[in-house]
Amino acid sequence: MISRLRNAVRSFMGKPVIDEKDIKALMKELQRTLLSSDVDVSLALKLTKSIEEKLRSETAKGFTLKQRVITLLYDELSAMFGESYSPKLTKHRIMLIGLYGSGKTTTAGKLAHYYSKKGLSVAVASLDTERPAGQEQLRQLVEKLNATYYPYDKAVAAIGAFKEDIFIVDTAGKNALDDELLNLLEEQYNIIKPDEVFLVIPADIGKVAAKQVESFNKASPITAAIVTRFEGSGKAGGVLSALAKHSIPIAFLGTGEKIEALETFDAKSFVSKLLGLPDIKGLIEKAKEANIEESDELNLETFYKQLKAAKDMGPLSQVMGMAGMYDVPKELLIQGEEKMQKYEAIINSMTPYERKNPEVFKKERSRIDRVARGAGVPSQEVNRLLSEFFKMEKLVKKLKNDRGVLKKLKKMMPGLKL
């Protein structure tokens, strides 16, 4: 769904002039893309009809027709995915529900990691008696995080007496939805008395999602959903439609197997990715999370700190995507990751004095050979790093002195500091 919609928008934006025929073609492609990914027919038609009606009835000063179409498409898709969810960071109970194979137990561990990273104390309990291996899997995940784990025989007592900030309960599950499971979940809901109920549901189950969402919601009123296996799924529309129909927001997306592969869902950031547009808000938030600090001076010391912090922002492909560069060849991304590692090793081989005074390398070339030996790279690699650093230094100075360019950049990217 993502690549097909992105290609359609890129083709539309690439036209020098657009007319009604081009808009209709884009709307048709949008419908086909949504329907092929199992989005409900009525929802897909409603979305395109709303865009077409607003184009006819509304005017927007300062916008070209092309900009109006993309803006309306962005707004309507954002509305379809619902309000962005803000995780509660106060003391509360969370109940996880879902079928076996949905990633529920792994998600319990990921949630524990997420809240722990926010500085909160976390406890995780299991009420799943059907799968002993699942209880052991959960125990291992939780104990690696230095969180508290309560097995089934201690879980109920802990529910009413927990001292931690966050109490996550992994509930009963089955391979298929049936009345026995739903009745059991209703009983467990009354025992847990959760502040939030998260439905863990895979993105790739297609139209089957409609029945799951409706049935689970009756057994335990769903606060929000955690959508797993989202990356690469071509049938995510079924889940998205089912959640939209019941006005259930998406809280998190599971984006991989690693414990940290859980992202809070932001509708506007997600739609930016769908359409191939830059996600400046997400990029700035990632930079804040990685503690990329503003500095009045630029030298190899500050550059080294920012390089390390940039690595904490996540894979280079994710960061490039947030900047709107979604289709960078994999080979270039791999080269970029390797280059960052190499540069980190080179700077790490420099003395504190050299990092703070990079001009010294221009005066004493022997320092370059010594650093190269320490980093285990050819001298040419050290020269390349220094050359790129001095070019960057020159560009930053130029930007700081050019108030006109700086003003435009800050207008395009709120939160940018130079």
Q: Report how far residue 21's alpha carbon sits from residue 90's, in angstroms, rounded to the nearest whole number.
A: 52
Please, which pLDDT band fits residue 371 given cuts at 50, 70 and 90?
Answer: very high
- Whether the Cβ atoms of residue 254 and residue 227 lie closer than 8 Å to each other: yes
Q: What is residue 130's three-state secondary structure?
A: coil
For the chain, the domains span 1-81, 92-272, 300-412
Residue 135 is predicted with a pLDDT of: 83
| Average pLDDT over every residue of 292-318 | 61
Residues 6+ away with beta carbon under 8 Å from 292: 306, 309, 310, 313
Fold held by 1-81? Four Helix Bundle (Hemerythrin (Met), subunit A) (1.20.120)
- Whether the Cβ atoms of residue 229 and residue 103 lie closer than 8 Å to each other: yes
The CATH superfamily of 300-412 is Signal recognition particle, SRP54 subunit, M-domain (1.10.260.30)
Residue 378 is predicted with a pLDDT of: 92
Q: What is the mean pLDDT of the chain?
A: 81
Phi and psi at 7, nearest 5°, equal -65, -40
DSSP state of 350: S
Instruction: List 166's β-bridge partners, or say none.
Output: 92, 122
Does CATH number 1.10.420.10 belong to domain 92-272?
no
Q: Report how far residue 125's alpha carbon sits from residue 24's, in angstroms, rounded to the nearest whole number.
A: 53
Structure tokens at 199: 């439905």
Residue 212 is predicted with a pLDDT of: 93
Helix ranges (H only) for 86-131 are 104-117
Quote the longest CA-to-CA distance of the chain.
79
Please, which pLDDT band fits residue 418 given cuts at 50, 70 and 90?
Answer: very low
Q: Where is average pLDDT lowest: 18-27, 198-207, 307-316? A: 307-316
Q: Report how far residue 176's alpha carbon sits from residue 35's, in angstroms, rounded to the nearest whole number.
A: 26
Q: pLDDT tens digits, residue range 121-137?
A: 999 999 887 776 778 88
| Average pLDDT over every residue of 136-153 | 87
- Whether the Cβ atoms of residue 16 and residue 22 lie closer than 8 Å to each other: no
Residue by residue, DSSP assigns 231-295 as: TT-S-HHHHHHHHHHTTPPEEEEE-SSSTT-EEE--HHHHHHHHHT---HHHHHHHHHHTT----
Tell me how far CA of residue 226 lies from CA of 14, 174, 230, 242, 262, in angstroms.
Answer: 36, 18, 10, 13, 9
Q: Is the pLDDT of residue 297 over 90?
A: no
Tell me how far CA of residue 97 lies from CA of 103, 186, 327, in angstroms.
Answer: 10, 11, 36
Residues 6+ away with beta carbon under 8 Å from 83: 249, 267
